[in-house]
Structure 1
Amino acid sequence: MTQNIVTGVAGFVGSHLAETLLDRGDRTIGIDEFNDYYDPSFKRKNIESFRDRPNFELIEADIRDLDWNALLKGTDFVYHQAAQAGVRASWGQGFRSYTARNLDATQIILEAAKSSKSLQRLVFASSSSVYGNAETLPTSEKTCPQPVSPYGITKLAAEQLCLLYYKNFGVPVSGLRYFTVYGPRQRPDMAFHKFFKAVLEDEAIAIYGDGKQTRDFTFVSDAIAANLAAASSPEAIGEVFNIGGGSRVSLIQVIETMEQVVGRPIRRDYQASAIGDARHTGADVSKAHKAIGYQPKVSLAEGLRQEWEWIQQVY
């Protein structure tokens, strides 16, 4: 039986990924420290549907405190989804948790991976934040990364660590640069979650800047498909791929689509632009399509409908 490790298993993407792996019959070890970056009760709910499955083992711990040499014995795939997320919180004193959870934790896993006899792939969850204000749109992996936030700096550095361990020790890594993932179980600090919650509570949604900033939004099931493809394709080893949703839209367009989904107007509260937010993001996914067969399938309207249904159940 295939054995996987999913770090950040109780998080947004990690919980979906673990559930998918269990559904196909794999043994899966999930690791999560349930820190308080957002309410841990959300994370507990994320794993409710598979917490008691016989092929699932939950380890509640900080990645840095575990014996990774022992954990990797017999493990075929590691999906490293754990990270300290959030652009705005990465400034100031908060930066220390970003270096600890995004860099130190990744290095510890890589150090153990270099002597693993069973490991077939380590898939690392990176971010479009590494590009910052990209010079070209849509942005390809050949574009020079220029992060505009401390968070983006740590994700880029962790990416480079992965590639160093591949080049020097043959660790079979593959990196995925997620472009704004959304869908059910989305973190409460992320925009769509906050927007839909505000709609439920009949409050205005906060818009930082003029609303004309654009993003490439990726539905969570497409991000999961990318992880599975990166794990199984030999062409993915030693490579980094953009994982986007297939279309770039402005925040105003998103809100208009949300209004269609919820069936009523949404009030808007325009505020000053946030420091560290890129003005535009857009993924050129042709490399991922060619190498691992990645093709986003869920439209923004359908994805928003699914997240709206979930939000109404949560609140």
Structure 2
Amino acid sequence: MEENRKEILVTGGAGFIGSHLIEELLENNYKVTIVDNFDPFYSKDIKLKNISGVINSPYLKLIDLDILDLEALFTQLTGSYEVIVHLAAKAGVRPSIEDPIAYQDVNVKGTQNMLEFARHKNIKQFVFASSSSVYGTNINFPWKESDVSLKPISPYASTKISGELLGHVYSHLFGIRFIALRFFTVFGPRQRPDLAIHLFSKKILNNEAINFFGNGSTRRDYTYVADTIHGIVNAIQYTRTPYEVFNLGNHQTVSLSEMIQTLESVFNKKAIIKYLPEQMGDVPITFADIFKAEQLLNYMPRTGFRQGVINFKNWLDTQ
């Protein structure tokens, strides 16, 4: 029955991670409202396709709304929300270097608006999508949440730190439980078309050159989307402390060279490589210590990198 369903507000819910989360929440007896402004960073059609399998659910509401419009948040969002999952943001490290002011507006002011909404609507659980990029050039691997030496090297990363700190303020002053989740290079079906695995796969299939930055030694902690969703769902239910930051990674690293070799193997096709110098804003390695998330969120990644790439290829074949 509908009245037995907890109501959750998910910003950015039509995106890559958001759409997978929506499906999981609906399957787990939640009522969901999506707020998404369909930012033109990539096609609205892709986002609508992401949620096409659930858009007709009686327990799902989609509202086209910009989180920078505080007045509209209060007038258009009228549900009895128990939790906010705030995924909406301007995404991408490299684009943030080109347009840092827009990233500051959406990612910091937008997060503050959602916290203000939670405060005035008496919503006591707030889950925030942060990023591994906050660690920046910190060389203490694997990265632990307890390490306060954050060294961001992109405007995007700095906005995510700002969001975490705003959450601490609102938790302390207004009693909102704030859970910040630092995502580590999430991949899988529906991955954004600008992200490396999706972009490189398309280029391999189309016989186009892949831009290969640096010497191939940069490493990423690739995390399969279903594992990330598992962490988010457990964070929604987390009640032990008023404020926490968690790494949601895979505790494995894959080099750029290894990633391309895996794509070549899975797609059974050689990549064409265009070698270029390293890019500004890119960190040399991301590597998550996930002990805290294992202990407090019962988080345990289950999908290895190669299997995740196979799953992604199987999805791409249907597009």
Gaps of 5+ in 1: none
* 2:150 match: 145
Question: Deviation at 1:114?
Answer: 2.0
Question: What secondary structure sits across from 2:127 in the alignment?
Answer: strand
Aligned partner of 2:138 among 120, 134, 139? 134
Aligned partner of 1:40 among 39, 44, 50? 44
Q: Does 1:269 align with 2:274?
A: yes
Distance 1:150 1:67 in 2: 26
Aligned partner of 1:161 among 162, 166, 173? 166
Question: What secondary structure sits across from 1:63 in the alignment?
Answer: coil
* 1:230 match: 235
Q: Please identify, of 149-158 and 227-236, the stretch whose mean Cα deviation from structure 2 is larger.
A: 227-236
What is the TM-score normalised by the length of structure 1?
0.95
* 2:73 match: 67
* 2:121 match: 116
* 1:100 match: 105
Q: Does 1:312 align with 2:314?
A: no
Question: Deviation at 1:64?
Answer: 2.3
User: What do residues 9-56 of structure 1 show as CA deviations (whole Å, max 9, x unaligned)?
Assistant: 111101110111112221100010011111222111111111111111
* 2:97 match: 91
Preserved CA contact (<8 Å) 1:197 1:311: no
Aligned partner of 1:189 among 174, 194, 201? 194
What letter is aligned with 1:218? T
Distance 2:88 2:241 in 1: 20
What letter is aligned with 1:53? S
User: What do residues 254-286 of structure 1 show as CA deviations (whole Å, max 9, x unaligned)?
Assistant: 112222211232222211111001011100010
Distance 2:284 2:232 in 1: 27
* 1:11 match: 15
Preserved CA contact (<8 Å) 1:133 1:281: no
Q: Please identify, of 17-26 and 145-154, the stretch whose mean Cα deviation from structure 2 is larger.
A: 17-26
Give the root-mean-square deviation of aligned CA atoms: 1.5
Question: Deviation at 1:148?
Answer: 0.5
Distance 1:160 1:69 in 2: 27
What letter is aligned with 2:104? T
Question: Deviation at 1:155?
Answer: 0.8
Q: Please identify, of 263-272 and 213-222, the stretch whose mean Cα deviation from structure 2 is larger.
A: 263-272
Distance 1:288 1:190 in 2: 25
Distance 1:174 1:126 in 2: 10
Aligned partner of 1:49 among 46, 53, 75? 53
Does the C-alpha gap of structure 1 residues 300 and 103 become closer, same or farther in structure 2, counting only changes over 3 Å?
A: same
Preserved CA contact (<8 Å) 1:12 1:185: yes
Distance 1:227 1:160 in 2: 19
Preserved CA contact (<8 Å) 1:69 1:113: no
User: What do residues 68-126 of structure 1 show as CA deviations (whole Å, max 9, x unaligned)?
Assistant: 4873751111110100001111124x122211210111101111212334x34210000
Aligned partner of 2:31 among 27, 30, 33? 27
What is the TM-score normalised by the length of structure 2?
0.94
Aligned residues: 312
Question: What secondary structure sits across from 2:120 in the alignment?
Answer: coil
Q: Please identify, of 178-187 and 254-263, the stretch whose mean Cα deviation from structure 2 is larger.
A: 254-263
Distance 1:70 1:12 in 2: 24
- Percent of residue pairs bearing the same amino acid type: 38
User: What do residues 161-200 of structure 1 show as CA deviations (whole Å, max 9, x unaligned)?
Assistant: 0111101111111000001001111111100010110111
